[in-house]
Amino acid sequence: MAVVSVKAARIGASLLCSGGIVGAAVSIANFLSPDSGIAGTPGAILVIASTLILVAFGLLMRDGTIRSRGVRGFVAAAALFNIAGTAFAGYLLDSETLVVAMLVSLAGWFIHLFESRPTPG
């Protein structure tokens, strides 16, 4: 039974990582495509960096190696602010795919927040 709850506890963080990976791919494509209108801009580089940081947050949340409650809370809050900021940047850059990827990440964040955790021991 514990194996099932460990797998279930990773679904939210995995969705968060998936949204970050898709967001990074879309941002890199927008950065490199001359047709995007934002090719080579510092804003596109910032969005690439923020989506990669979001993937790192998702991996930290997925592993469950963080034992400190304060650090877990910080990572979860920082991930939420990252998702909101990246979605807003995607909206301003007219990248609907990036906004949808951040909505997937937000859904994963909510799932991670409310899913049951396996008890240590």
Q: Quick one: how far is CA 68 from the chain centroid?
A: 21
Instruction: Look at residue 119 in the predicted model and tell me its pLDDT.
Output: 57
Query: Residue 64's domain spans which residues?
Result: 2-114
Task: Look at the block and give the residue holding tokens 């049951």.
Answer: 116
What string of pLDDT tens digits covers the 121 residues of the chain?
444 445 555 889 999 999 999 999 999 999 998 887 888 888 889 999 999 999 999 999 888 777 888 988 999 999 999 999 999 999 988 889 999 999 999 999 999 988 766 555 5
Domain count for the chain: 1
* CATH number of the domain encompassing residue 71: 1.20.120
**Would 120 be classed as within a structural domain?**
no
pLDDT for position 4: 43
Give the closest residue to 108 by CA, choosing from 73, 61, 41, 68.
61
From the list 35, 45, 41, the residue with the least C-alpha distance to 86 is 45
